[in-house]
Amino acid sequence: MIRIFLTVTLLCCVISCKNEPEKSQDLSESSSEVNTAENTIPTDNEPIKLTQKGFEVTPISHATMVLHWDGSIIYVDPVGGAEAFAGQPSPDLILVTDIHGDHLNVETLKAVSTDKSKIMVPQAVADELPTDFDAQVDVLKNGDFKERFGFKVEAIPMYNLREEALKFHTKGRGNGYVIEKDGMRVYISGDTEDIPEMRALKDIDVAFVCMNLPYTMTELQAAKAVVEFQPKKVYPYHYRGKDGMSNPGTFHGWVKKSGPGPNIEVIELDWYPNK
């Protein structure tokens, strides 16, 4: 009896040890991990660490995310109230791309920012902010650069191309962003189609690219642009449209079928945990 028990225990141990690497592989697939070299394997009580040169992505919802980068915290398009950021550290830098409700919410900005936070916005967003924010707001127009907390941020145009969509995002109003530190470059598309300015991006390590209709673009348009500027990693995000979700898997497939596909890692996260 004891021998049987021991055998079973040993077997379980062998099986669980054998499963260990696959388990961590699964986690890296389903989480926001962007580099296996520096991954830490989470224990049950520990949040998943997602590391590339100290770079971690936490999707909050749709266009809203938290980036942990080299000890600094960056919020992108914080909306959803303070509760959407429960458990997150306060932001050093906040980037807002546009005036629409899925990108700008003044109450959320008030709730999550501290006196030390710097907030980068296009003029159209600045116009919506109460004067209490004046001391911490940097206004960037398309093409402008600003450096804060060691991050160099460039405002990239974001706008529609299709005739029927021109009304959604006029050129010059909103900002996409390229954030750069120590040679690592992260692109946040904001709401845009596959504009020449996106296709011309260079040396992007991580890209967040939108795809939803009728407001931005199709999965195929997004894939064509991504194949052109060839980021090392791309996160499809902002994919809930007027009549349902676009399919990040379709985008993934298009990218992988392309010539440069093998060199571009597509990372699908759940951007709609509360749908």
Q: Which is closer to Zn ion, CB of 92 or CB of 102?
A: 102
Beta carbon of residue 242, minimum distance to Zn ion (angstroms, whole number) = 11
60: which 2 tokens?
């909050």
d(CA 106, CA 227): 36
Q: Which is closer to Zn ion, CB of 85 or CB of 237?
A: 237
Binding mask 111-150 for Zn ion (x = CB under 5 A): ----------------------------------------
Beta carbon of residue 61, minimum distance to Zn ion (angstroms, whole number) = 11
CB of 36 closer than 8 Å to CB of 49: no
Q: Which is closer to Zn ion, CB of 191 or CB of 193?
A: 191
Torsional sign, CA 19, 34, 67, 189 = negative
Beta carbon of residue 238, minimum distance to Zn ion (angstroms, whole number) = 6
Q: Which stretch binds Zn ion (CB under 5 A): 37-45, 95-103, 112-120, 223-231?
A: 95-103
For position 77 contacting Zn ion by CB under 5 A, the verdict is no
Q: Is 145 helix (H, G, I), strand (E, B) or coil?
A: strand
CA 236 centroid distance within chain: 8
Q: Which is closer to Zn ion, CB of 184 or CB of 198?
A: 198
CB of 210 closer than 8 Å to CB of 239: yes
193: left (phi over 0), alpha (psi -120 to 50) or beta: beta
Binding mask 173-192 for Zn ion (x = CB under 5 A): ------------------x-
Q: Which is closer to Zn ion, CB of 180 or CB of 191?
A: 191
d(CA 116, CA 102): 24
* Number of residues binding to Zn ion, judged by CB under 5 A: 2
Beta carbon of residue 89, minimum distance to Zn ion (angstroms, whole number) = 25
Torsional sign, CA 120, 123, 127, 131 = positive
Beta carbon of residue 173, minimum distance to Zn ion (angstroms, whole number) = 12
**Sequential DSSP letters for 209-236:** EE--TTTS--HHHHHHHHHHH--SEEEE
Residue 199 contacts by C-beta under 8 Å, 6 or more apart in sequence? 225, 228, 229
Beta carbon of residue 26, minimum distance to Zn ion (angstroms, whole number) = 31
Q: Which is closer to Zn ion, CB of 117 or CB of 160?
A: 160
Q: Which is closer to Zn ion, CB of 81 or CB of 260?
A: 81
Beta carbon of residue 114, minimum distance to Zn ion (angstroms, whole number) = 26
For position 102 contacting Zn ion by CB under 5 A, the verdict is yes
Where on the chain is the footprint of Zn ion (CB under 5 A)?
A: 102, 191
